[in-house]
Structure 1
Amino acid sequence: MRRRLIQSTLAVVLVVIAVFGVSLVIVETRTISNSAQERVESEAVRLASIVDSRILAAENVNADVLRNPVSKDQYAVIRMPGKPPIEIGDRPEGDTIHSTQRGEEGETVTVQEPRSAVTREVGRTLLIIGLVALLAVVAAVLLAVRQANRLASPLTDLAETAERLGSGDPRPRHKRYGVPELDRVADVLDASAERIGRMLTAERRLAADASHQLRTPLTALSMRLEEITLTDDPDTVKEEATIALTQVERLTDVVQRLLTNSRDPRTGSAVTFDLDEVIQQQLAEWRPAYRGVGRAIVSSGKRHLQAVGTPGAVAQVLAALIENSLMHGGGTVALRTRVTGNQAVIEVTDEGPGVPADLGARIFERTISGRNSTGIGLAVARDLAEADGGRLELLQAQPPVFGLFLSRTPPARALDDDQPTVR
């Protein structure tokens, strides 16, 4: 593009120089020639008037008297009746410019000037015009290079920005070039980069959440299958298989919820459910794991509580808290239920060292972890709790007490959906 811009600008300048330069050369050549002819004619008239005046005054007319007015490049011949001709200067050779004037006393004055003098003057004029044209070409090239760089460099930068976007680097450059059209393209690319960055962040977050949410039911399912492989008792196999099927259903529910949220994160599925069923399900799932490390998991508190939310999501939150206690806590893990105001609360606590002071305020942030773990479990749990109007909080750091708060009042939307529709 730079080369095309330079070539086009140079072509325009050359055309302009050619058109106006040729015209100027023609005009200047004619002007110089006319000026030389007028100069010779004027000199002939002047000499004729001098000769007339001296003849009338009866004064002597000779070459010495008339030599000073005549230019050194000119040759003059004065012919008077009855007298020999008077020559002034050297007779020019070759082509000449001449003029002949007749005086009132019958004398004839002829002035000649070599055309080579005119040619030299025309040459000097052409040289000046050529130098000016050369300077114009150089200035045009410099201007064209500057303008080409001003236009081509931004386009190169914009192409690099587009290539970076295509390669998965959505960082906006926020670079402007002082050209409104190019700045408009840069604005659009930066806006696109920001949107792509947000989309990639959301996709990565969804992938991380999905992997974490699927890991827990898969772990529980794996434990049940291990129990089946270690026993020969048909009743135990049947019981463990039933629990494994429950885990498969839960896994299916997690996948369905992830797909629903990926299509529309605002879609909710909150219902009124029995907390005891979810808690007992979690106890049954995690007891083998706790028993394997010599620890216990128990439940206490108010029974038969009804709460509003998504049972699968609540189970995921409790599973994240229980798994967190298994990995980072110690002693017996207790799930306690209570009521505060219009909310049902499930507290999960253990006898471990608790949450470090430097992590207490940031425990629910992503990538924050006290040990070698993913650091997204509690963040995902809080997101799941808030999706249906609940909340997850750290009530106490040492010993650790996490509280899951769920509403006990069905949402207004659910009440409206139960009303009959009048058609």
Structure 2
Amino acid sequence: MRRRLINSTLAVVLVVIAVFGISLVIVETRTIENSAQESVDSEAVRLVSIVDSRLLGGERVSPDVLADQITPDRYARIELPGRPPIEVGEKPPGDVIQARERGEEGETVTVQESAATVSEEIGRTLLIILAVALLAVVAAVLLAVRQAHRLTAPLTDLAETAERLGSGDPRPRHRRYGVPELDRVADVLDASAERIGRMLTAERRLAADASHQLRTPLTALSMRLEEITVTDDPETVKEEATIALGQVERLTDVVQRLLTNSRDPRTGSAIDFDLDEIVKQQIEEWRPAYRSAGRAIVRSGKKALRAVGTPGAVAQVLATLIENSLMHGAGTVAIRTRVTGNQVVVEVTDEGTGVSPDLGARVFERTVSGRNSTGLGLAVARDLAEADGGRLELLQQRPPVFALFLSREAEAGEPDPRATAGG
């Protein structure tokens, strides 16, 4: 493309030089020739007037007198009636420019100049025109190279940007080139890069969340299956299988929830559900793991509570808190339910050292962990809670107290707090 731009610019310049240069040469040649003829004519008229004035005054007309009156390199011949002709200067050889005038006393004056003098002047003029044309060509080449670089460098840069996008590097470059059309292309590529970056981030986040969040229900499911393999009691097998099927359903709900949040985190399926059932289910699922670790998990607080949210998401949040207490806490894990205002609160605490002061509320940030874990559990749990209009908070660092706040469903005979707030 650079070569095409240079060639096209040179072609335009050469055409312009050819058209205007030839016209200029023709005009200048005619001007020089006409000027030379006019100069010779003027010289002849001037000599005639000098000769007439001397003849009328009775003065002598001689070559010595007229030699000072003629331009050097020119030849003059004065023919007087009844006298021999007078010649001044040397007669030029070859082609000449000539002018002849007749005086009032009957004399004839002829002035000649060599045509070679005019040819030399025309040659000098042509050299000047040629030099100007060459300068114009050089300037055009420099301008074409600069313009070609100005246009091809951004195109090369844009091609590299597009290649980087295709290779999986979505970082926008935010480069602009001062050419509106190229800047528009750069804007589109940067917008595409940002959009691809967001998509890749969402995909990576979904993969990380899925690998982390599926681990907990799969672990609980594997424990149930182990219980089935070590028992011979049909009733126990039936009971454990029923619980395992329930866990499979919740696992399916977790997967669906993760996919829904990856598309739109604000999309929820909140319903009115029995909070006691979710708490009881989580205690039953995690009790074998705690028993194996020589620890206990207990429940206290107000019962018969109903909340508004997604049961699967709430179960997953509680499972994350219980698993954190199992992995990082110590002693007995207590789950307490209470009511505050128009919200239901589920608190999970243990007897461990808790959250270090340097972490604090940052414990909910992704990749932030104080115990060499992935740091995703609490971050995903908070996202799940917020998707249902609730929130997950760290109420106390030592001993640790995590609290899940959910909208409360009004009891029979009591006004709906959401309706009151809305009114």
TM-score normalised by length of structure 2:
0.91
Inter-partner Cα distance in structure 1 for 2:296 and 2:41: 131
Inter-partner Cα distance in structure 2 for 1:226 and 1:87: 140
- Correspondence for 2:85: 85
**CA shift at 1:70, angstroms?**
1.6
Q: Secondary structure at the match of 1:98?
A: strand
Inter-partner Cα distance in structure 2 for 1:260 and 1:396: 32
Q: Which runs of 5+ in 2 are unaligned?
A: 411-415
- Correspondence for 1:316: 316
The aligned amino acid for 1:404 is L
- Correspondence for 1:72: 72
Inter-partner Cα distance in structure 2 for 1:214 and 1:56: 133
Inter-partner Cα distance in structure 2 for 1:379 and 1:281: 23
Larger mean CA deviation between 266-275 and 374-383 belongs to 266-275
Superimposed CA distance per residue, residues 248-290 of structure 1 (whole angstroms, 9 cap, x where no aligned partner): 1111111222333344443322122222221221122212222
The aligned amino acid for 1:303 is K
The aligned amino acid for 1:107 is E
**CA shift at 1:119, angstroms?**
0.6
The aligned amino acid for 2:180 is P
**CA shift at 1:397, angstroms?**
0.5
Identity of aligned residues (%): 81
- Correspondence for 1:379: 379
Q: Does residue 139 of structure 1 match 2:132?
A: no
Superimposed CA distance per residue, residues 162-205 of structure 1 (whole angstroms, 9 cap, x where no aligned partner): 33333333323222222333333333333333333333323322
Superimposed CA distance per residue, residues 56-107 of structure 1 (whole angstroms, 9 cap, x where no aligned partner): 2222222111111222211112222332222221221111111222222222
Inter-partner Cα distance in structure 2 for 1:357 and 1:274: 36
Q: Does residue 31 of structure 1 match 2:31?
A: yes
- 8 Å CA contact 2:322–2:348 kept in 1: the answer is yes
- Correspondence for 1:108: 108
Larger mean CA deviation between 42-51 and 388-397 belongs to 42-51
Inter-partner Cα distance in structure 2 for 1:404 and 1:265: 18
Q: Which runs of 5+ in 1 are unaligned?
A: 416-423
The aligned amino acid for 1:164 is R
Q: Secondary structure at the match of 2:104?
A: coil
Q: Secondary structure at the match of 2:214?
A: helix
Q: Does residue 266 of structure 1 match 2:266?
A: yes
**CA shift at 1:320, angstroms?**
0.4
- Correspondence for 2:350: 350
Inter-partner Cα distance in structure 1 for 2:74 and 2:168: 85
Inter-partner Cα distance in structure 2 for 1:232 and 1:95: 136
Inter-partner Cα distance in structure 2 for 1:389 and 1:231: 43
Larger mean CA deviation between 239-248 and 384-393 belongs to 239-248
- Correspondence for 1:217: 217
Q: Does residue 171 of structure 1 match 2:171?
A: yes
Q: Does residue 45 of structure 1 match 2:10?
A: no
- Correspondence for 2:361: 361
State the Cα RMSD in Å: 2.2
The aligned amino acid for 1:381 is A
- Correspondence for 1:298: 298
Aligned residue pairs, count? 414
Inter-partner Cα distance in structure 2 for 1:221 and 1:53: 138
Q: Secondary structure at the match of 1:324?
A: helix
Q: Does residue 152 of structure 1 match 2:120?
A: no
- Correspondence for 2:413: none
Inter-partner Cα distance in structure 2 for 1:223 and 1:66: 137
Inter-partner Cα distance in structure 1 for 2:236 and 2:88: 145
- 8 Å CA contact 2:202–2:262 kept in 1: the answer is no
- Correspondence for 2:409: 409
**CA shift at 1:310, angstroms?**
1.1
- Correspondence for 1:238: 238
**CA shift at 1:117, angstroms?**
0.4
Inter-partner Cα distance in structure 1 for 2:351 and 2:102: 138
Inter-partner Cα distance in structure 1 for 2:42 and 2:408: 121
Larger mean CA deviation between 6-15 and 167-176 belongs to 167-176
Q: Secondary structure at the match of 1:363?
A: helix
